[in-house]
Structure 1
Amino acid sequence: MDLQLTGSRVLVTGGTRGIGRAIVEAFADEGAAVEFCARDAGEIEATEEALAGRGGGVRGGQLDVRDGAALTAWVAAAAGRLGGVDAVVANISALAIPDTEENWYTSFEVDLMHTVRLVTAALPHLEASGNGSVVAISSVSGREADFASGPYGTMKTAIVGYVSGLALQLAGRVRANVVSPGNTYFAGGVWQQIEQGDADLFSTALGLNPTGQMGTPEETARAVVFLSSPVASRISGTNLVVDGALTRGIQL
């Protein structure tokens, strides 16, 4: 299937590791021009070098998304370089799971407010696109209570609610969807860290997966790219769960 993304202009927050990196690669392989942001300059440079020549070009910018003014400025600069924006993906998460007051504030600023600020800054460009799309990365922890309930899970639930409202408010102008991955394993990721530091929790989590394995970043990235594409023109307001039947709740 041709996703009709050749020449499209895409912004991704958090594009150097895990799901974010896979999203950047997947868009580039579909012919899109991609700009991403991250905090670590070395990781940004390494990602740019690894993806040089892919798609319509891949460029990174150093940014802490908690800085609202800097995030807004990055969107404006990227839109200027690209000549517009067709799709944005709010991917960054603080992964602040322990239930502490500091983590509540951090999760609010990083997970939820960076999503809101990204959309607010990009919206004029998305509306001008004619094919504008917003995709936010939530989690199965935002869909049902689990060990990550608390700051992380609550903000992931809030993201689903926020994007559902956007879909209604922007209907006919810009599409807005959520992708909610189940536990996703990759080198250096949270589940590898849990595997090394809390073998019992890792074993329990792995045992809950009906497929007998955790997901890969690439599996989530494919869902994101599809929802962002013109091929998904009638899909807005959905929460696409990518979890291999991990969660049991029925979506009505």
Structure 2
Amino acid sequence: MASVSGGREGRPGPGERSGVDGKRVLVTGGSRGLGEQIVRLLAAGGARLATCARTPEHLRSLTASLSAEGHGEPFTSALDVTAPELLERFVEAAGIRFSGLDGVVACAGGARGRGVEEADSQDWSLTWEMNVGHTARLVKAAVPHLRRAGGGSVVVIASISGWKPGPQAQYGAAKAAQIHLAASLARELGPDGIRVNAVSPGSMLIPGKRWDRMRTEEPEAYARFTAELPRGELVTPREVAQVVAFLLSDASSGVSGAHLPVDRAQNAPTPGGY
């Protein structure tokens, strides 16, 4: 598997290279969490990067950090991927700036609403658009630039919730649709040399986020949650990013239409069980 090793967690060391060296890659939702780890790993591997996120401050912080580490500055834009035309304009600008694209990663996503009795139609629509709609629009906008490069790789970030049921239903349904979308687009775009794959992270241990807070604030509940995992540990964003880097590299040239769980054999998406 193409990877970037060494350096501290989430901060690959300068000069490290992988199978993405020189590749032109666009990542949505790349300023925090998993998206940030993907961007950092690709940058350390020598990729030329474009990324977008909703918060300008987070993008500025990421840019400054990457520049300080000697990885150069990514092409960035602060935008909401659900806003009409904004995502498409960013993809077009990146494709022109880089004279083509070798890969795109649909990492932006999220959910709105609670249980089925509480969630309204807008919660369902927004959850769908954040995940499936944004992915479809991203791919459509990127195809001409991927084709210009002679083909490329699309990686769709789905979720364990897309194939193992757990609340909320609107999120799981949208993530399941992303998995199917990747398989369908792999067949449709394959003749152009464009590969499409889905990656389903398990519950990730991200500093300051839900499971990290549970680990520090509710250690007994966290221990029960992770007890069913073979190693008793949740997957890290860096481990997921390593798989994404592999799928973007030429080493994965025979992989398309695949769904790759990266979850340490996790069985339950939430503490509520599976």
Give your verdict on TM over 0.5: yes
TM-score by length of 2: 0.84
Q: Answer with 235-244 or 79-88: which moved more.
A: 79-88
Gap regions ≥5 residues in structure 2? 3-16, 269-274
Is contact 1:89-1:135 (8 Å) kept?
A: yes
**Aligned position for 1:153:** 172
- The number of aligned residues is 247
Contact 1:32–1:57, Cα closer than 8 Å, also in 2: no
CA contact (8 A) 1:178 1:238 kept: yes
Q: Which moved more, 1:19-28 or 1:53-62?
A: 53-62
Q: What is the RMSD computed on CA atoms of the aligned residues?
A: 2.1
2:98 paired residue among 82, 89, 106: 82
Matched, 1:182 2:197: no
Pick which of 36-45 and 100-109 moved more: 100-109
Q: Contact (CA 8 Å) 1:97, 1:150: kept in 2 or not?
A: no
Larger radius of gyration: 2
1:71-150 correspondence runs (5 A) = 71-96=87-112, 98-99=114-115, 100-101=119-120, 102-146=122-166, 148-150=167-169
Q: Deviations over 1:140-198 (max 9, x none)?
A: 1101112x340111100000011100011112420000110101011132323555777
**CA distance in structure 2 between the aligned counterparts of 1:3 and 1:41, rounded to whole angstroms:** 29
**CA shift in 2, pair 1:76/1:98, >3 Å:** same
- Partner secondary structure for residue 171 of structure 1: helix
Report SS of the residue matched to 1:31: coil
Q: Which residue of 1 aligns with 2:12?
A: none
Structure 1 unaligned runs (5+)?
A: none
Q: What is the rounded CA distance, in whole Å, between the counterparts of 1:243 and 1:208 in structure 2?
A: 12
Residue 23 of structure 1, aligned match among 29, 38, 58: 38
Q: Hey, what's the Cα distance between the residues in 1 that align with 2:253 and 2:127? A: 31
Question: Contact 1:84/1:129 (CA < 8 Å) preserved in 2?
Answer: yes
- Quote the Cα distance in structure 1 between the aligned partners of 2:143 and 2:33: 26
Provide TM-score, normalisation by structure 1: 0.90
Using the TM superposition, name which of 171-180 and 198-207 deviates more: 198-207
The SS at the match of 2:183 is helix
Which of 46, 49, 57 is matched with 1:42 structurally?
A: 57
For residue 56 of structure 1, report the CA deviation from its aligned partner.
Answer: 5.8
* Mapped contact 2:229–2:266 kept (Cα < 8 A): yes
Aligned to 1:164: 183
Contact 2:75 2:94 in 1 (8 A): no
